[in-house]
Amino acid sequence: MENIIALCKRKGFIFPGSEIYGGLSGTWDYGPLGVALKNNIKALWWKRFVTDREDMFGVDAAILMSPRVWEASGHVGGFSDPLVEDTKTQKRYRADHLLEEAGIDVKGMNIEAMDTNIKDLALKSPEGNSLGDVRQFNMMFKTHIGPVANDDSISYLRPETAQGMFVNFKNVLDSMHPKIPFGLAQIGKAFRNEIAPRDFIFRSREFDQMEVEYFVHPDQWKDSFEHFQNQVHEFISDLGIDRKKVHELEIGPEDLAHYSKRTIDFEYDFPFGKKELYGLAYRTDFDLKSHTEASGQDLSYFDEESKTRYVPHCIEPSFGLDRTVLATLCDAYTVDEVDGEKREYLKLSPKIAPVLVSVSPLLKNKPELVEVARKVYVNLKKKFGRVTFDDNGNIGKRYRRQDEIGTPFCVVVDFETLEGVKETGVMDTVTIRYRDSGEQERVAIADLVEKIEGLV
Task: Kindly state the smallest distance separating residue 189's Cβ from ligand ATP, in Å.
Answer: 11
Name residue 44's amino acid.
L
The reply to whether 70 sits near ligand ATP by the rule CB under 6 A is no
Stretch that binds ligand ATP, among 95-103, 128-136, 144-152, 275-283 (CB under 6 A): 275-283
Q: Closer to ligand ATP by CB, 118 or 277: give it.
A: 277
Task: Kindly state the smallest distance separating residue 323's Cβ from ligand ATP, in Å.
Answer: 4
Closest to 331 measured CA to CA, from 319, 318, 349: 349
Task: Kindly state the smallest distance separating residue 347's Cβ from ligand ATP, in Å.
Answer: 22
Per DSSP, the residues of 345-381 read: EE---TTT-S-SEEEEES-TT-HHHHHHHHHHHHHHH
The reply to whether 186 sits near ligand ATP by the rule CB under 6 A is no
Strand boundaries in 63-133, DSSP class E: 64-65, 80-85, 92-94
Residue 216: beta bridge partners? 313
Closest to 291 measured CA to CA, from 181, 174, 169: 169
Task: Kindly state the smallest distance separating residue 62's Cβ from ligand ATP, in Å.
Answer: 19
| 429: three-class secondary structure by DSSP | strand
Q: Closer to ligand ATP by CB, 101 or 303: give it.
A: 101
Q: List the interface residues with ligand ATP, window 323-342 (CB under 6 A).
A: 323
| 97: three-class secondary structure by DSSP | helix
Q: Closer to ligand ATP by CB, 115 or 322: give it.
A: 322
The reply to whether 34 sits near ligand ATP by the rule CB under 6 A is no
Q: What distance in Å separates the CA atoms of residue 43 and residue 41, rounded to the nearest whole number? A: 5
Exactly one of 85, 86, 194, 287 binds ligand ATP (CB under 6 A); that residue is: 194
Q: Closer to ligand ATP by CB, 1 or 443: give it.
A: 1
Closest to 314 measured CA to CA, from 115, 159, 192, 166: 166
Q: Closer to ligand ATP by CB, 279 or 354: give it.
A: 279
Q: Establish how many alpha carbons lie within 13 A of residue 394's alpha carbon, considering only the half-sphere containing its beta carbon.
A: 1
Q: Closer to ligand ATP by CB, 323 or 398: give it.
A: 323
| 443 burial via Cβ count (<10 Å: 0-12, 13-18, 19+) | middle
The reply to whether 414 sits near ligand ATP by the rule CB under 6 A is no
Residue 276: beta bridge partners? 267
181 preceded by a cis bond (ω within 30 of 0): yes
Task: Kindly state the smallest distance separating residue 454's Cβ from ligand ATP, in Å.
Answer: 33
For residues 310, 287, 285 and 227, what is the CA-based torsion angle, rounded to 10 degrees? 110
The reply to whether 156 sits near ligand ATP by the rule CB under 6 A is no
The reply to whether 269 sits near ligand ATP by the rule CB under 6 A is no
By rule CB under 6 A, what count of residues binds ligand ATP? 14
Q: What distance in Å separates the CA atoms of residue 224 and residue 314, rounded to the nearest whole number? A: 9
Task: Kindly state the smallest distance separating residue 162's Cβ from ligand ATP, in Å.
Answer: 9
Closest to 259 measured CA to CA, from 279, 293, 278, 286: 286
Give the number of other CB atoms < 10 A from CB of residue 367: 10
The reply to whether 320 sits near ligand ATP by the rule CB under 6 A is yes
Exactly one of 278, 282, 286, 333 binds ligand ATP (CB under 6 A); that residue is: 278
The reply to whether 318 sits near ligand ATP by the rule CB under 6 A is yes
Name 153's Cβ contacts closer than 8 Å, sequence gap at least 6: 144, 145, 146
Q: Closer to ligand ATP by CB, 279 or 361: give it.
A: 279
274 phi and psi angles, rounded to 5 deg: -80, 115
Q: List the interface residues with ligand ATP, window 203-232 (CB under 6 A).
A: 203-204, 207, 209
Stretch that binds ligand ATP, among 43-51, 274-282, 298-306, 353-361 (CB under 6 A): 274-282
The reply to whether 416 sits near ligand ATP by the rule CB under 6 A is no
Closest to 216 measured CA to CA, from 306, 170, 284: 284
Task: Kindly state the smallest distance separating residue 322's Cβ from ligand ATP, in Å.
Answer: 5
Task: Kindly state the smallest distance separating residue 158's Cβ from ligand ATP, in Å.
Answer: 12
Give the number of other CB atoms < 10 A from CB of residue 364: 15
Residue nearest to ligand ATP (CB): 320
Stretch that binds ligand ATP, among 147-155, 165-173, 315-323, 418-426 (CB under 6 A): 315-323
- What single-letter DSSP state applies at residue 146? S
Q: Would you say how long the chain is, in residues?
A: 456
Q: Closer to ligand ATP by CB, 326 or 357: give it.
A: 326
The reply to whether 38 sits near ligand ATP by the rule CB under 6 A is no
Judged by the rule CB under 6 A, the positions of this chain that interact with ligand ATP are 192, 194, 203-204, 207, 209, 276-279, 318, 320, 322-323
